[in-house]
Amino acid sequence: MGTTLAVLLRRRGHVISSVVSRHLAHASRCAKLVRCSTSSTHLSDLSPDTNLVIIATTDEAVRSVAEATSRLRHLDFQHLLVLHTSGVLTSEELQRLRAKGATTLSFHPLQTFPRGIPLGTQIDSMEGISYGIEGSPRALRFARVLAAELGGKTIVIPKQEKILYHVGAVIASNYVVALLGAAEESLSSLTSSAGLRHFRKLAETSVRNAFRLSPREALTGPVVRGSSQVVTRHLRVLRRKHDLRALYKAVGLYALELSRKSRRLTKSQERELRRILSKAG
């Protein structure tokens, strides 16, 4: 994520003055990409001319990096803006920097950054994304400008709702991938080829329809049709695949809730499906 943002900012005309990482090789690689002469494993090597610090670390490291940065005597905190890119943490993680006079915010790119994806592909995937932003009014004004420069949009997240926002992001990204893994596993005994590719068009069309209509309106399949016999047969064949069976039942119950809200089932259909999907074992 850090390298991707650095390259995008460089392309928008910003000067990257320092790249710091736990691993010098990672810092050097990023620095070379953005034509930066300073790559280091030490925060003390941050340029005194720095006016924006981006902390793109793991969630667990954000506070310690912020506190270490706050102890640097050569930075002009009164004219410094510091952001972190965590989706789950708020700007409170940067409170030591704020106490020094820095403007602080959380600035979370709503995009996935898997290993193994080429940098060029990752950069292309950033076009038009949204950034979850949270901070003071002054910080939010800067965040909107920065997101626009990066070709994105913003969604303001109230501090107390940040964790719920992240739940949504995890479900929309990580759990969608996990569900595709489950779909692939269902074909594992039927084909020696990459079974997931056979589901590609189905998955892509379903996602498009969910955004074009709504998840409620786009939902199809046995649950929304009230087909209790089909659901029963599915669960029967999954008896030896305990993980898939538990997943099927959990997601099925949520699909049942969507179906109930869209009023596409009779009361008797809803009761029978709930009984089947809630049954232990």
Query: pLDDT tens digits for 184-237?
Result: 888 877 765 667 888 899 999 999 999 999 999 999 999 999 999 999 999 999
Assigned domain for 162 exists:
no
Based on the fold, state whether residues 148 and 185 are members of the same structural domain: no
Burial, 28: exposed, middle or buried (Cβ in 10 Å; 0-12, 13-18, 19+)?
Answer: middle
Sign of CA dihedral 148, 150, 154, 159: negative
Work out the end-to-end distance of the chain between its first and last CA atoms, rounded to an integer number of angstroms: 42
Pair (99, 212) in one structural domain: no
- Whether 100 and 234 map to the same domain: the answer is no
CATH code, domain carrying 9: 3.40.50.720
CB 91 within 8 Å of CB 106: yes
In a domain, 7, yes or no: yes
Q: What is the mean pLDDT of residues 50-79?
A: 97
**Are residue 141 and residue 184 in the same domain, yes or no?**
no
Strand order in the sheet with 130-135: 52-55, 81-84, 103-109, 130-135, 153-156
Predicted confidence at residue 62, as pLDDT, reads 98
C-beta of residue 24 within 8 angstroms of C-beta of residue 73: no
Answer whether 223's CB lies under 8 Å from 255's CB.
yes
Q: Is residue 58 situated within a structural domain?
A: yes
Name every residue whose Cβ is closer than 8 Å to that of residue 49 and which is 6 or more positions away in sequence: 17
Record the pTM: 0.89
Based on the domain organization, do 206 and 109 belong to the same domain?
A: no
Q: What is the per-residue pLDDT for 188?
A: 78
Residue found by looking up tokens 């939902």 in the block: 219
Q: Do residues 77 and 146 both lie within one domain?
A: yes
Residue percentage of the chain with pLDDT more than 90: 91
Q: Looking at 95, 127, 157, which one is the last position of a domain? A: 157
Q: Are residues 144 and 187 in the same domain?
A: no
My answer on whether 26 and 153 are in the same domain is yes
In a domain, 148, yes or no: yes
Residues 139-197: tens digit of each pLDDT = 999 999 999 999 999 999 999 999 999 999 999 999 999 999 999 888 877 765 667 88
| Residue 179 located in a structural domain | yes
Rounded to 10 deg, the angle between the 176-186 and 200-212 helix axes is 150
How far, in Å, are 152, 202, 206 from residue 212 at the CA level? Answer: 20, 15, 10
Residue where a domain terminates, one of 157, 182, 211: 157
Last residue of a domain, one of 157, 191, 220: 157
- Whether residues 124 and 234 share a domain: the answer is no
Q: Answer yes or no: is 228 within a domain.
A: yes
Q: Please state the domain count of the chain.
A: 2
Question: Which residues, 6+ apart, have CB-to-CB distance to 61 below 8 Å?
Answer: none
Q: Is residue 88 domain-shared with residue 144, that is, in the same domain?
A: yes
Q: Which domain holds residue 223?
A: 167-278
Count the helices and strands in the chain (H runs, E runs): 14, 7
Residue 138 placed within a domain: yes
**Backbone φ and ψ of 116, nearest 5°:** 95, -10
Nearest to 119 by CA among 272, 275, 4: 4
In a domain, 35, yes or no: yes
Same-domain status, 16 and 128: yes
107 lies in the same domain as 140: yes
